[in-house]
Chains A and B, each alone.
Chain A
Amino acid sequence: MATPLALRVFEAEARVYKRTWRGSVFSSFLNPVLYLLAMGVGLGTLVDANLPPELEGVSYLSFLAPGLLVATAMQTGAGEGAWKVMGGIKWLQTWKARLATPIGTKSLLGGHLLWSGARVLMVSVIFAIVIAIFRVSPLWQSLLAVFPALLVGMAMASLTTAFTLHTRTEAALPMYFRFVVIPMFLFSGVFFPIEQLPNWLQPVALVTPLYHGVEMARAIVLGLEPAVAPWVSILYLTALTVLGAALSIRPLRSELKP
């Protein structure tokens, strides 16, 4: 529901972000560098020494980098949907303040998701630049992988927003990260192909938004054939985003406009 007022909410979030952008950009840069050094180069040397057939001849660093790009987007989206929302409705009550103005719940949600998308875009682009610096792929190729990362980040932001609005308790958020976000991060094909998972777990990995983004990003960066047709993944991730937004409206209304 991108009414113009949603853009005003987006602008407000940007104003808040402006206060901490330096630290945020710096850590968005440092985080992938550290991960790619430790896991990609460090651990990767051991992995590559074994020449595992599952990696189809690519180095572990190259296998890992596009996956981690999408995983970072996924976590950024989840973070926006969790902490930003809890802050708005509980801690700072800034969302309540907005609703005393012409801003309605739909523009509030629209602006929030738009901003979450912008945050995902920022960390993803920085990550793509780091991938190019590590010479995994040319810059244009890693920048193309930002697109699936954005889709995954948006889906997670939207679904997490719905979750936060439904639970309304801050104690639920660490649990959500521990039992949903971190397992998804570890077992959706970022660090190893999901074929390594026990058979019964593979379908679970298949329905995670992260898996679909990782497959697309890896296909783009390494020039491989994706395991799932991209249009299926794109449609699926878009549907999850819409679903999250649709599930958010009602609890948002009852929380802020009782």
Chain B
Amino acid sequence: MSDVLIRAQSLVKKFDDFVAVDSIDFEVSQGESFGFLGPNGAGKTSTMRMIEAVSPVTSGSLSVLGLDPADEGPRIRSRLGVVPQENNLDEELTVYDNLMMYGRYFDLDRDVIRERIDELLDFVQLEDKRDSKVSALSGGMKRRVIIARGLINEPEVYILDEPTTGLDPQARHVLWDRLYRLKQRGVTLIITTHYMDEAEQLCDRLVVMDKGKIVAEGSPRYLIETYTPRDVVELRFPVGVLEQVASSIEDLGDRTEILADRALVYTDDAEKTVAMVADRHEPETVLARRSTLEDVFLRLTGRSLVE
């Protein structure tokens, strides 16, 4: 392992009596792309805000870039880039003004910021929106402005909290492409998401969080191989039928999950399972696919990521 940039040990965050982060341990290394996967309320954002030296640690230890967030907040924040969950651009100002203003918070020279704005707008493909008011931009474009804003101080660690939530598929892919480029440049990325495809696309390594705890850790491939059979067969039945057939499909694969609208059959041999289904039942649709992190999450917590 190369240099560890962030190290958390028995990290806890409490809000009054509510335990948002329940004694977690993790390390993020230089150049790594590290993900926190989990549903809303799992404690991802609370963890991010502690790393960002914005929210104080309740107990346990946390070191960011070798510094203690409790004492060195401004120094840590000057070396981090942050993409918050919410769009908190100044809507009334232009893209340029937003970026200039933000750069000045880092006490950077105006000429330096001006140069970086040109580079960054080129990077997020918004050169032609430089003098547009933010309020006139689409959701995807605003996100890209925020991505650019977070890079204005050339951060060593780039923290993205739900970077693509609420975007349409096309806008998400544009963003992923940009983030992938950053990763290739060697920027250390920390990403929270409740989209398994996002985690699979972007993360070298991730932790799965649920109710404030880390329930699994590893690369997306490792997690899928470890926690779920290779294939999934999704069966949809007409309304009311699912409950009746539930018991008779249990032996179709290694494991079955009955969800509200469909049954998932986990198996190492999808073809065989599909053939067995055809013999016995008449589902409305049959879909064989590879297991994903969604299935890992379902396995670990018994719940879906996106409800």
Instruction: Given A19-B93, A100-B77, A102-B74, check contact A12 B104 (CB 8 Å).
Output: yes
B16-51: which residues lie under 8 A (CB-CB) from chain A? 49
Q: How far is the CB of A98 from chain B (nearest CB, A)?
A: 6
Residue interface mask A194-228, B partner, CB < 8 A = 1: 00000000000000000000000000000000000
Among A11, A16, A102, residue most surrounded by chain B Cβ atoms (within 10 Å): A102
Bound complex: CA of A5 vs CA of B54, how far in Å? 16
Do B105 and A102 touch (CB < 8 A)? yes
Interface size (A, Cβ < 8 Å)? 24
| CB of B263 closer than 8 Å to a CB of A | no
Partner pick for A15 among B15, B93, B107, CB 8 A cutoff: B93
A100: chain B residues at CB < 8 Å are 52, 54, 77, 80, 82, 84
B92: chain A residues at CB < 8 Å are 16, 19
Bound complex: CA of A37 vs CA of B77, how far in Å? 53
Do A101 and B105 touch (CB < 8 A)? yes
B54: chain A residues at CB < 8 Å are 99-100, 256-257
Do A12 and B88 touch (CB < 8 A)? no
Further 12 A-B residue pairs, CB within 8 A, beyond A19-B93, A92-B90: A5-B107, A8-B104, A9-B105, A93-B88, A96-B88, A100-B82, A101-B102, A101-B106, A102-B105, A103-B105, A256-B54, A258-B55
A15: chain B residues at CB < 8 Å are 93, 97, 100-101
Do B102 and A97 touch (CB < 8 A)? yes
Partner pick for A11 among B75, B80, B91, B104, CB 8 A cutoff: B104
Do A93 and B97 touch (CB < 8 A)? no
Instruction: Given A92-B91, A94-B88, A97-B88, check contact A12 B55 (CB 8 Å).
Output: no
| CB of B56 closer than 8 Å to a CB of A | yes
| CB of A230 closer than 8 Å to a CB of B | no
Contacts A/B (CB < 8 Å), 24 sampled: A4-B107, A5-B105, A8-B104, A9-B105, A11-B101, A11-B104, A15-B93, A15-B97, A16-B90, A92-B91, A93-B88, A94-B88, A96-B84, A97-B84, A97-B89, A97-B102, A98-B105, A99-B54, A101-B102, A102-B74, A102-B77, A102-B78, A102-B107, A104-B74
Residue interface mask A7-45, B partner, CB < 8 A = 1: 011011001100100000000000000000000000000
A97: chain B residues at CB < 8 Å are 84, 88-89, 102
B107: chain A residues at CB < 8 Å are 4-5, 8, 102
Bound complex: CA of A5 vs CA of B49, how far in Å? 21
Bound complex: CA of A102 vs CA of B102, how far in Å? 10
Q: How far is the CB of A9 from chain B (nearest CB, A)?
A: 8
| CB of B218 closer than 8 Å to a CB of A | no
| CB of B283 closer than 8 Å to a CB of A | no
B75: chain A residues at CB < 8 Å are 102
A256: chain B residues at CB < 8 Å are 54
Residue interface mask A100-117, B partner, CB < 8 A = 1: 111110000000000000
Instruction: Given A4-B107, A101-B105, check contact A258 B93 (CB 8 Å).
Output: no
Bound complex: CA of A98 vs CA of B104, how far in Å? 10
Q: How far is the CB of B16 from chain A (nearest CB, A)?
A: 10
B153: chain A residues at CB < 8 Å are 101
Do B78 and A257 touch (CB < 8 A)? no
Do A12 and B84 touch (CB < 8 A)? no
Do A12 and B101 touch (CB < 8 A)? yes
Bound complex: CA of A200 vs CA of B120, how far in Å? 64
Residue interface mask A124-144, B partner, CB < 8 A = 1: 000000000000000000000
Do B100 and A257 touch (CB < 8 A)? no
| CB of B139 closer than 8 Å to a CB of A | no
Partner pick for B106 among A12, A102, A104, CB 8 A cutoff: A102
Bound complex: CA of A37 vs CA of B102, how far in Å? 44
B140: chain A residues at CB < 8 Å are none
